[in-house]
Structure 1
Amino acid sequence: MAGYLLYSQTLTMRRIITCCTFVFLSMSQPVVAQIAAQKPMLEVLHWWTSAGEVDAAQVLRHGLAERGVNWEDYPVPGGGGDSAMAVLKARVIHGSPPGAAQIIGPNIQYWAGLGFLQPLSNPSLAADGLFYPVVDDLIRIDQEVVAVPLSIHRINWMWLNPAVFERLDLPLPTTWSQLLRAAPRLREAGIVPLAHGNQPWQNATLFEVLLLSEAGPEFYQRYFVEQDPAVLEDARVVATFERLRQLKSLMDPGMINRSWQDASRMVADGAAATQIMGDWVKGAFTAWGLQAGEDYLCLAVPGTNEQHLYSIDTFVQFRDNPNPISFQPFIETLLAPQVQREFSLAKGTIPVRRDLTMAGFDDCSRASHHVFSQAAAEHRLAPSMAHSMATSPETEDAVFEIVHRFFIDDSLSPEVATAQLAQSLRALK
């Protein structure tokens, strides 16, 4: 019996070997050659997970494939990119950074200061005047380019469902008082006046937009970027917290931990009248088949018509990149004029290249482009604190914590919140 079992096992093994050998030898030579000549891969870490963001990433994926490199997707969910940065740090510490990583704002200087970023050389990156000065300053460290810019977001948008206002015969709210006066009528009709998600980064986004609205870009710069002690307890900061609490009264109880996409869907479906959020909302609307000017409207947040609260999409390469040759095609992809256009159309942004026209873009994008250009020329741009453009990660975390605590705790006064935030900003300067 033992001998039979041994013979049976041996026969089975021979059949497996013969089968596998036959399959391998029967493969056509072109298939084998194709496997051997497989395109190089570039692993790309980012936080684009909404419908519009996924469509925009597909534009980059296809553009990279046309240049002979396959895009290996590494998306990390989480608004604002905080989760992505945590994952990135863990991977770098482990010695396995991705081939390309989405890093924005002062985080670029942080990683460059640690010696992790690879200086980049490419004719387009060195082209004089291709980018706005604020973009050039962002991507350069000691005159070396260490990041590739892609597109520009505007944060201070209010998104509206025009059918709701038309049906209730309400004027479009261009001031806070108009929005507040419309709230009772909207509630009577079963419509949430202001869709929002009670998450720390969303609350911080609303706070920074309101600070810009209450105090303007110069004060915003002194407060968030310079952290000037002379303005940290200014009455305008107290007024910003007061406005935040006032707007909270326009929201619904279901906002706890609601994603920004779900809030945007409420506006799209007519369950809510407005949402205050960056132009990635427009990317989601586009992915859902909605048309600007018909299915939704965009208005600058009251008091910020001529202001541009911005965030800039950028990518970097690490020095110990396992496949550095793939990054040059990636640079060429990101900066290609057609890719820049198609990416921004899908994502809701405007191209970072100054030599591209806005032909074919909707009124929201054209308005964003016009205001950004004017504000850049007049030094009135405001870098987004909540989206990692204005300050250090430690300061950003402190603002998130205090603003979120104020938002969820109605017993905390605007004056106390202002003092607590001032204390943190002084300590972290």
Structure 2
Amino acid sequence: MKLKPIFAAMAAVSVFGAAQAAEVEVLHWWTSGGEAKSVAELKKMMEAKGHKWKDFAVAGGGGDAAMTALKARVVSGNPPVAAQIKGPSIQEWAREGALGDISAAATDWDKLLPKVVADVMKYKGKYVAAPVNVHRVNWLWINQDALNKAGGKAPTNFDEFFALADKFKAAGMTAVAHGGQPWQDATVFESVVLGVGGAKFYEDALVKLDAKAIDSPTMLKSFDTLAKIKTYIDKDAAGRDWNLATAMVMNGKGGMQFMGDWAKGEFTAANKVAGKDYTCAPAPGTANAYTFNIDSFAMFNVKAADAKKGQADLAASIMSPEFQEVFNLNKGSIPARAGVSKAKFDSCGQKSMADFESTAKSGGLVASFAHGMAVPSATQGAIVDVIAKFMNSTMSSKDAVAALVKASKTK
């Protein structure tokens, strides 16, 4: 079935109740407050087009549980219409022949998407996924009241960061709010590597997996810095969900959190305001860099005409300016496509938009290793295991670097 005529018929579909209404099953892991609010907007748009939304939500911030569930469904020959997949994993699924070509529904996407985003959504030049946003991962979230009492200045390097952490600790707070889960450990690690080594070193080590960069004094220093950060994390951090760590910063039990800007979705859902209740600052040493994490929905091969129609409508809805605005205002991220007004975005959102554009030109825009944007999943998993082991043991920085060299060779 050709998808192009669908868009001309869209107005009629919404008026006449969709002669080809489909049950559109979508797998995702957006289950926290800000995230659930965001996905509800997509459901609303699809139902307005006459489709029945079937939620296939699998909890777990990093999406590991969701991927396990997805594999089981695809192997059994019953994939959902779309699934939240990102980065190199999109190409991995496409190589297996599991994804459908949605290029006919994406005729103007090359003009609307930055090349760095469009390239991730394609396989062999054809669109197989639709991007919903761009997240900046290298953020530091700080409780505003605690920051004001400590001098009011967000740290721009690790010396300033540790000085501030000491003040928070002295005030009886958990200086670094953190959830001891492997993907969260990796999130902190990549911001540390970026802050210690800079964008070029980060790209060489964690994107290109260059052996010389990994086995270097800079990587050793990164682990030393991570080891020091560990000393500011509370003993109850093991297994804590990321949004609970964000809540610690929100309620003043925690001082700072290293986390992507989905954390801002939690602040927004709790009616907290940037600059008044919390501060968003680039992680120490990373002001001129931007680690991007793009959420996207990959479209699976579906045979039924109504399912294909639902898939095309889903892709069009995801890329509409209306959805990109309301979704990203809820989620804390920024629109993936051009042409969305910045007016409603707060100071953090507008800074993210400006930095995304400037780092795209300067070379400071780098793929998030921790969030599946940089390397194949098997390699990422092996490296994350090393980081998690380092965070949860007395492993030395030297041993961690050696283990990282080995893990980076995992295929």
Please say if residues 140 and 283 of structure 2, whose CA atoms lie closer than 8 Å, have aligned partners that are also in contact. yes
TM-superposed CA distance for 1:321, in Å, is 5.3
Q: Does 1:342 align with 2:326?
A: yes
> Deviations for 1:5-47, whole angstroms, at most 9, x for unmatched residues?
xxxxxxxxxxxxxxxxxxxxxxxxxxxxx99989421011001
1:153-204, CA deviations, whole angstroms, 9 ceiling, x for partnerless residues? 0000000111112235464333322232233332232211110011111101
Q: 2:390 aligns with which of 406, 420, 424?
A: 406
Unmatched 5+ residue regions in structure 2?
1-15
Please state whether the residue corresponding to 1:129 is helix, strand or coil.
helix
Task: Report the CA distance shift for 1:211/1:146 in structure 2 as closer, same or farther (over 3 A).
Answer: same
The 1-side partners of 2:251 and 2:20 are apart by: 45
1:66 to 36, 48, 57: 48
Mapped pair 1:416 → 2:399: yes
Q: Out of 318-327 and 417-426, give the one that drifted further.
A: 318-327
Alignment partners' CA distance in 2, 1:170 and 1:188: 16
Amino acid at match of 1:385: F
Question: What amino acid is the match of 2:331?
Answer: K
> Are 1:368 and 2:352 counterparts?
yes
Relative distance call for 1:324 and 1:35 in structure 2 (3 A) is: closer
Equivalent runs, 1:18-417 vs 2, <5 Å: 39-122=21-104, 124-169=106-151, 171-320=153-302, 323-410=307-394, 412-417=395-400
Rounded Cα–Cα distance in structure 1 between residues aligned with 2:134 and 2:257: 20
Of 68-77 and 111-120, more deviation after overlay is shown by 68-77
Q: Tell me, which stretches of 5 or more residues in structure 1 are unaligned? A: 1-33
The aligned amino acid for 2:364 is R
Check whether the contact 2:258–2:283 (CA below 8 A) recurs between aligned residues. yes
Offset from partner CA, 1:27-68 (integer Å, 9 cap, x none): xxxxxxx99989421011001011000000011111111222
- Distance in structure 2 (CA, Å) of the matches to 1:314 and 1:148: 5
Task: Report if the CA contact (8 A) 1:229-1:426 is conserved.
Answer: no
Name the CA distance, whole Å, in 2 between partners of 1:96 and 1:246: 47
Pick which of 138-147 and 272-281 moved more: 138-147
TM-score (norm 1): 0.88
Distance 1:136 1:79 in 2: 24
Q: Give the conservation status (yes or no) of the 8 Å contact 1:170–1:182.
A: no
Aligned-pair CA distance for 1:427: 4.3
- Choose 317-326 or 79-88, whichever is displaced more: 317-326
C-alpha contact (below 8 Å) 1:69/1:329 kept by paired residues: no
Which moves more between the two structures, 176-185 or 103-112? 176-185
Amino acid at match of 2:238: I
Give % identity: 36
Provide closer, same or farther for how the CA distance between residues 381 and 168 of structure 1 changes in structure 2, counting only shifts above 3 A: closer
Shift of 1:216: 1.4
Deviates more, 1:374-383 or 1:204-213: 374-383
Secondary structure of residue in 1 paired with 2:233: coil
Counterpart contact for 1:280–1:349, Cα < 8 Å: yes
Which one has the largest radius of gyration?
Answer: 1
Contact 1:53 1:347 in 2 (8 A): yes
How far apart in 2 are the matches of 1:200 and 1:260? 11
Note the C-alpha offset of 1:121.
Answer: 2.7
* CA positional deviation for 1:292: 1.5
Q: Which amino acid aligns with 2:112?
A: L
Distance 2:409 2:50 in 1: 50
Residues 168, 383 of structure 1: alpha-carbon distance in 2 compared, 3 angstrom cutoff: closer
String of CA shifts for 1:199-244, please: whole Å, max 9, x gaps.
1111011111111111112221111222122222011111111111
Cα RMSD, aligned residues only: 1.9
Which letter does structure 2 place at the counterpart of 1:357? Answer: S
Aligned length: 394
1:345 maps to a residue whose letter is L
